[in-house]
Structure 1
Amino acid sequence: MDNVDRPKLVASDVDGTLLDPLERVTPRTAGVVGRVVAAGVPFVLVSGRPPRWIPPVARAAGLTGYAVCANGATVYDIASGEALSVHDLAPVVLHDVTHAVRGVLPDIRVATERTSVGPSPLAAFATEPGFRNPWGNPNGMDGENPEVPTAEVLGHPATKLMIRHSGLTSQELAAAVLSVLDGAALEVTYSTNRGLIEVSAAGVTKATGLAEVCAMVDVPSSRVVAFGDMPNDVHMLRWAGHGVAMANAHHDVLAAADEVTAPNSEDGVAQVLERWF
């Protein structure tokens, strides 16, 4: 890849990619991110995380630009702390999906992420009784919403519907849900294999969110290098001019990538970017 032109935009997944296994931005990675930004090249965080979980990563990496959140459903301005665009699932869709999946898998538990452009009276995260996040709250953030009735979870527009089943892997759960939702044209993906999948509106992926940012900064996809490790990164790696999978990546990501770098435990993102910056 040494003969590839220096990218005009760098896009990176966060967990399992930019962060090391202890959820830190290492000094080596922070250093090269700083050189990218100093060169006038946007460095965009592209994550399944909601906007409220972005600031600690942005501070550690020294970033104040844009982030793509909720698997592409939200474009977020890090400096202002405001969402610039949101692509929601309507309440009727949330109800229909949950009802259909629960007819086949009655033990699922659901939660929703909510983001708005401008102020909103709604809690950003709503969980029905029994829902458990498999990774906890990143960076020690523990002020999440308490459990509420299922009707409240599903009764407002949401950037993504999270479905949990403690007895299945995420891959197994995704396969079951896709068979139930066949023809619904919704996006079903996952970023952990611990029994959690994420459903987004039709056509909403990390690639579409990143395309929004690239349009804002006038960078073509051909000049983007993107990094990822889980199935929710596949569309982005295929869309970018050069998609890079971490060595610790899911097999679907490895198959979609143009290059495989070192794992996140060995600064795999930095090892690629140091060729140019």
Structure 2
Amino acid sequence: MRNNDPVTSVTRQPEPPASPQLATSPAPGGAPSVPPRLIATDLDGTLLHDDQSVSPRTVAALAAAEEAGIEVFFVTGRPARWMGVVSDHVHGHGLAICGNGAAVVDLHGGPGAHRFVKVRELARENALETVRLVREAAPGTVYAVEQTYAFHQEPDYPRLHMEVPDTLAPAAELLAPDGAAAAQPILKILASHPTLDPDAFLTVARLAAGPRATITRSSPSALLEISGPEVSKASTLALCCAERGISHEEVVAFGDMPNDVEMLTWAGQSYAMGNAHPAAVAAATGRTAANNEDGVALVIERLLGERR
């Protein structure tokens, strides 16, 4: 089992903010302030600096939140094997939502020893049909397949990750009932296009796939992430919160990209980063500083200050 960190597929360049105004409090007219019981934060472009580090200030803020009885969930598009970057900061519960909601993972064992607590897979027939329809709508699309403990890709899929795929084969062969991906659940399919604008590619793919899959993106390039129907960061976070008796009003969420939109909309308080995509800014109830300026820590510090 590999534990390589990603390279380009999850490294975002800051985008011009929709507004120069940053506010670590919810926007006027937003949700009423309810004492938070859970903090849900994206990683890349949000909690992590661009060099993939967690700053000392952010480490201290996360620890202080958990000391105050507020749970912290890392909610990311990353696969479980790329969670080593935060495995030292999971503290008490050690749970993370990975693959845009496709899996809930216990990180207590450390890098390479994670355990899947919940899996929301993409059905094989839906995967095959979505792959076909998106490629018909956007010729030139190439695919990779993420599973619980495996990663496969088509021969022409670009080198976006610091890892060697388990299998190189056309997607139709990988996803066949007797293909290389048959032994494990399919968590996510990655779709890459060499020339399309990322947001245009997202629109085309969503129209082509219809209700067969959830399609989003978190990369600055034309790289889409395809999950099962109704699977998103928000829907899996809602399941985890329901198990704990936590309402959405008691959740504070942070994010920066289109794959965070549902979570930012669902949470009672939510913050788009200073480097966020316009769709994330529109979905959030507030705005904070950029990831490289510890925007998540700024809000947590304010929230904890209000509890004193």
TM-score, with length taken from structure 1: 0.89
* 2:253 paired with 1:231: no
Cα displacement (A) at 1:63: 6.7
Cα displacement (A) at 1:211: 1.1
Matches of residues 243-262 of structure 1 in structure 2 within 5 Å?
243-262=270-289
Give the equivalent residue in structure 2 for 1:264.
291
RMSD: 1.9
Distance of 1:150 and 1:224 partners within structure 2? 38
Give the equivalent residue in structure 2 for 1:153.
174
Match of 2:225, SS?
Answer: strand
User: Does the 8 Å CA contact 2:126/2:212 hold for their aligned counterparts?
Assistant: no
1:113 to 142, 146, 166: 146
Match of 2:202, SS?
Answer: helix
Give the equivalent residue in structure 2 for 1:169.
197
User: Does the 8 Å CA contact 1:169/1:196 hold for their aligned counterparts?
Assistant: no
Give the counterpart letter for 1:166 in structure 2: P
Match of 1:227, SS?
Answer: strand
Higher relative contact order (CA 8 A, sep 6+): 2
Distance of 1:132 and 1:143 partners within structure 2? 12
Deviation larger for 15-24 or 145-154: 145-154
Cα 1:145–1:170 shift into 2, 3 Å? farther
Give the counterpart letter for 2:108 in structure 1: A
Distance of 1:50 and 1:34 partners within structure 2? 24
Structure 1's consecutive aligned runs of 4 or more residues displaced over 4 angstroms after TM superposition are 60-64
1:21-60 superposed Cα distances (whole Å, 9 cap, x missing partner) = 1111000001101111122211000000111111322225
Give the counterpart letter for 2:104 in structure 1: V
Give the equivalent residue in structure 2 for 1:95.
128
* 2:210 paired with 1:210: no
Distance of 2:85 and 2:119 partners within structure 1? 21
Give the equivalent residue in structure 1 for 2:43.
14
Cα displacement (A) at 1:187: 1.1
* 2:219 paired with 1:186: no
Cα 1:130–1:252 shift into 2, 3 Å? same
Match of 1:112, SS?
Answer: strand
Give the counterpart letter for 1:213 in structure 2: C
Cα 1:169–1:28 shift into 2, 3 Å? same
* 2:286 paired with 1:242: no
Cα displacement (A) at 1:64: 4.9
1:154-185 superposed Cα distances (whole Å, 9 cap, x missing partner) = 23341111110011132121111122223x35
* 2:58 paired with 1:58: no
**How many residues of Structure 1 are paired with residues of Structure 2 in the alignment?**
264
User: Does the 8 Å CA contact 2:87/2:107 hold for their aligned counterparts?
Assistant: yes
Give the equivalent residue in structure 1 for 2:118.
85
Cα displacement (A) at 1:254: 0.3
Deviation larger for 264-273 or 102-111: 102-111
Cα 1:133–1:248 shift into 2, 3 Å? farther
Cα 1:167–1:63 shift into 2, 3 Å? farther
Cα 1:104–1:185 shift into 2, 3 Å? closer
Give the counterpart letter for 2:289 in structure 1: A
Give the counterpart letter for 1:168 in structure 2: L
Give the counterpart letter for 1:172 in structure 2: A
User: Does the 8 Å CA contact 2:95/2:104 hold for their aligned counterparts?
Assistant: yes
